[in-house]
Amino acid sequence: MENIFVFIELESGAITKSGIEVLGKARELADKYSKQVVGLVLGNDFNNFAGLLDCLARLGADEFLLAESDKFTDYNSEIYGKIICGEIEKLKPQIVLLGSSKIGKELAAQISAKFLSCCFQDCVDIDIEGDFLKAKRLVLAGKAFVTLKSKCSQFQVATLRQGIFQPKIIGKDAEITRMDVPADLVSRIIRKEFTGRTSGKVSLLGAKIIVSGGRGMKSGENFKILEELADVFGGAVGASRGAVDLEFRVFDDQVGLTGKTVSPQIYIACGISGAPQHLAGITQAKFIVAINKDSGAPIFKAADMGIVGDLFEIVPLLTKSLKNLKGEK
Amino acid sequence: MNIIVCVKQVPDIEKPVKIAGKVIDESSDFVLNPLDEHAIQQAVIVKEKLGGKIIVLTLGPERAKQALLRCLARGADEAIHLKTDNDCNFDSTAVSVILAEKIKTLPFDIIFFGGKAVDTNSGDCGVQVAKIFGIPCIPEIIKLEIDNEKVVAVRQVDNGEEMVECSLQAVFTCQKGINELSILPLPKIMQAKRKPLKVEDVCVNNRFSEIIDLEVLPNKRGGLILEGNPEEQVKRLVEIFKKQGILRE
């Protein structure tokens, strides 16, 4: 039986939401086309994360490979790439799936170069036709969809966009195997320093609700009202390039062509005029709300719903009424 | 320091996208990929500090020459145009294999790429070329300090920023913020035409994927503007959110 190989990314010892979604999709394909799902997890000190293994076991894989080493505490592209490519070489899977985080994408590119196969990044849909992977991706700055079909029957690589695929819980526990990890893992890349994300507590990728601000926010401090609104939903705060250029927010928060491409259920654009570069990042939002003073702003044409008005009045009102509504329940 | 910069010509995404069948309409406007502009600029910064030579490389049809001329104007010393008659826009592995074959014949310490191309939105080629050569790749860097022995780079990762050290040879892909782009003065644009630009015909034989369909997204948004005073507008919006089922969780 052909294998679907899934790499599961951990974050602080927990399985990522994206990892759960990728496993769900892998299971769906495996059931449909009678294939096996083999998952690989790299981490350190699994015993310290009680519940992780029980949780993993039911997310859709038939088998899990656990690789444990202190070398896996922080991501290192060379070390991770070496271990993953090594396992893929042994298993010779038909398909390799990863989440479309920066790590997932980098590993996918490595795998495709190593085994000379297709590399479909950030897919919004995938399927198998015959022996070949078919994938749909957003291209041309979010203005078009391309559907691609692999020409290789093995090692076909794809990363799946966050927040699109459904997780699955299965009744059967996956078999968990601990892998032997080589002791001499070295890399020419050495991490010297790490600065964690400071602004915006919730990650933009995978967030269900995103509240974004632009130049119209006038200052970085004013983003506080957007954070309060986002908090009501447990959402994330983003920014336009204009706001980032004015240093209201850090680049990591930037939504748009050079920043992040997001796909929330609701995107609330506050004081954002709607330059094509920004719109390119939000085409996959299910519902877009625009709040802007300027009724001629292009954002209103790209939004499902618009409020022409003062965001400093509208946003706190919205936060308040949503809070009241939550209080009633 | 021998520096190679790999660039790509892409459709100008500020203009409406035109598609002919399964590919970009050739009557579209094409530009040097914005992040590749930062890649070439970074190569110039490194050369100014350490000396050396910059070779810029592209794979693409006849028109891609314009992208190379722009890089020569920015400060590249030589350009190589791997000319194709057909487009392989969405097959990153195919492109990387051809680029690597050419790079193999050139001396290099560093290879720069743009973080990703605006048309394919993948960012694969830098990582793939590095893997083919078995050398380190640091993608999406926003800072680079370099001397003859080692390199310190800051890259964006999913949950923050990471500062890493690595040895050369290596590949770096450049993210916005790594440098400021100066305006190109006309004399430099004129001089670029006199710099060496070699054209080599290549055939993309080895394909790893094919395009089944390419469709422009319709703009389906309603663009409805809510009436009333702020209280009424917010009330209406909250009702819509309720309908969307967002507030149930």
Q: What is the CATH number for B148?
A: 3.40.50.620
Distance from CA of A313 to the nearest CA of B (A): 8
Handedness of CA A185, A186, A190, A192 (dihedral sign): positive
- Out of B129, B207, B241, whose CB is closest to A266? B241
Cα radius of gyration rounded to whole Å, chain B: 22
Task: Report the distance separating Cα A315 and Cα A226, nearest Å.
Answer: 7
Q: In what order do the strands lie in the sheet with B137-146?
A: A189-196, B160-167, B150-157, B137-146, B170-174, B110-114, B2-7, B53-60, B78-83, B197-201
The tally of domains found in chain B comes to 1
DSSP letters of A207-264? -SEEEEE-GGG-SSGGGHHHHHHHHHHT-EEEE-HHHHHTTSS-GGGBBSSSSB----
Contact criterion met (CB < 8 Å) for A140 and B157: no
A97 neighbors A125 (Cβ within 8 angstroms): no
**pLDDT in the model for residue B247:** 63
Amino acid identity, position B155: R
Of the ranges A125-134, A197-206, B179-188, which one carries the lowest mean pLDDT score?
A197-206
- Out of A113, A277, A314, whose CB is closest to B131? A113
**Residues in A touching B246 (Cβ below 8 Å):** 208-209, 233, 265-266
- Out of A110, A146, A209, whose CB is closest to B127? A110
Q: Of all residues in chain A, what percent carry a pLDDT higher than 90?
A: 66
DSSP-derived letter for residue B227 is P
**Is pLDDT above 80 for B108?**
yes
Contacts of residue A309, defined as CB under 8 A and 6 or more positions apart, other chains included, come to: A291, A293, B230, B233
Residue B214 lies in a domain: no
pTM, full prediction: 0.87
**Residues in B touching A310 (Cβ below 8 Å):** 230
Task: Give CA A46 to chain center in angstroms.
Answer: 23
Residue B248 lies in a domain: no
Average pLDDT of the segment spanning B38-67: 96
A68 neighbors A45 (Cβ within 8 angstroms): yes
Quickly count: other Cβ atoms within 10 Å of residue A233's Cβ. Answer: 23
Whether B221 contacts chain A with CB within 8 A: yes
Whose CA is closest to B152, among B175, B176, B170? B170
Contact criterion met (CB < 8 Å) for B156 and A252: yes
**Is pLDDT above 90 for B3?**
yes
Range of the domain at B62: 2-201
- Out of B175, B208, B215, whose CB is closest to A144? B215
**Is pLDDT above 90 for B88?**
no
**Residues in A touching B35 (Cβ below 8 Å):** 258
Task: Report the distance separating Cα A213 and Cα A314, nearest Å.
Answer: 13
Of the ranges A18-32, A91-105, A300-314, B211-225, which one carries the lowest mean pLDDT score?
B211-225
B203 neighbors B170 (Cβ within 8 angstroms): no
Q: Of all residues in chain A, what percent carry a pLDDT higher than 70?
A: 98
**pLDDT in the model for residue B249:** 47
Whose CA is closest to B83, among B69, B63, B56? B63
Contact criterion met (CB < 8 Å) for A102 and B231: no
Can you read off the two tokens belonging to residue A255? 């939504």
**Is pLDDT above 90 for A172?**
no
Round to the nearest angstrom and report the end-to-end CA distance of chain A.
Answer: 50
Can you read off the two tokens belonging to residue A56? 């993993």
Whether B189 contacts chain A with CB within 8 A: no
Contacts of residue A21, defined as CB under 8 A and 6 or more positions apart, other chains included, come to: A99, A160, A162, A163, A164, A165, A166, A167
**Residues in A touching B157 (Cβ below 8 Å):** 75, 102-103
In the CATH scheme, what is the homologous superfamily, with its name and number, of domain A209-328? TPP-binding domain (3.40.50.1220)
Residue B57 lies in a domain: yes
Quickly count: other Cβ atoms within 10 Å of residue A262's Cβ. Answer: 25
Of the ranges A171-175, B108-112, B212-216, which one carries the lowest mean pLDDT score?
A171-175
Binding-face residues of B in 44-63 toward A, CB within 8 A: none
CB pairs under 8 A between A and B: 252
Contact criterion met (CB < 8 Å) for A102 and B210: no
**Residues in A touching B233 (Cβ below 8 Å):** 307, 309, 314
- Out of A116, A197, A318, whose CB is closest to B208? A116
Task: Give CA A203 to chain center in angstroms.
Answer: 9
CATH 3.40.50.620 fits domain A3-178: yes
- Out of B13, B212, B221, whose CB is closest to A302? B221
**Residues in B touching A147 (Cβ below 8 Å):** 211-214
Helix/strand/coil for A198: coil
**DSSP E strand boundaries for chain A:** 3-8, 10-11, 14-15, 36-43, 63-68, 95-99, 119-129, 132-139, 144-150, 156-160, 175-178, 189-196, 209-213, 236-239, 266-270, 287-292, 305-308
**pLDDT in the model for residue A29:** 97
**pLDDT in the model for residue A325:** 83
Binding-face residues of B in 167-186 toward A, CB within 8 A: 167, 170, 175-177
Residue B128 lies in a domain: yes
- Out of B11, B139, B212, whose CB is closest to A140? B11
Task: Report the distance separating Cα B23 and Cα B61, nearest Å.
Answer: 13
If one compares B229 and B38, the residue with the highest pLDDT of the two is: B38
Distance from CA of A1 to the nearest CA of B (A): 23
Report how far apart, in Å, the C-alpha atoms of A164 and of each of A30, A42, A159, A211 are: 18, 24, 12, 19
**Is pLDDT above 90 for A211?**
yes
The rounded mean pLDDT for chain A is 91
DSSP-derived letter for residue A151 is S
Contact criterion met (CB < 8 Å) for B159 and A321: no
A9 neighbors A19 (Cβ within 8 angstroms): yes
Residue B219 lies in a domain: no
Tens-place pLDDT, residues B195-238: 999 999 998 878 999 999 999 877 667 778 888 888 889 998 98
CA atoms within 13 A on the CB side of B177: 20
Residue B234 lies in a domain: no
Tens-place pLDDT, residues A74-115: 899 999 999 999 999 999 999 999 999 999 999 999 999 999
Going from N- to C-terminal start, the domains of chain A cover: 3-178, 209-328
Task: Report the distance separating Cα B100 and Cα B131, nearest Å.
Answer: 10
B84 neighbors B116 (Cβ within 8 angstroms): no
Contact criterion met (CB < 8 Å) for B164 and A191: yes
Task: Report the distance separating Cα A245 and Cα A223, nearest Å.
Answer: 15
Residue B66 lies in a domain: yes
Tell me the ipTM for this assembly: 0.91
**Residues in B touching A129 (Cβ below 8 Å):** none
**Residues in B touching A301 (Cβ below 8 Å):** 219, 221, 223
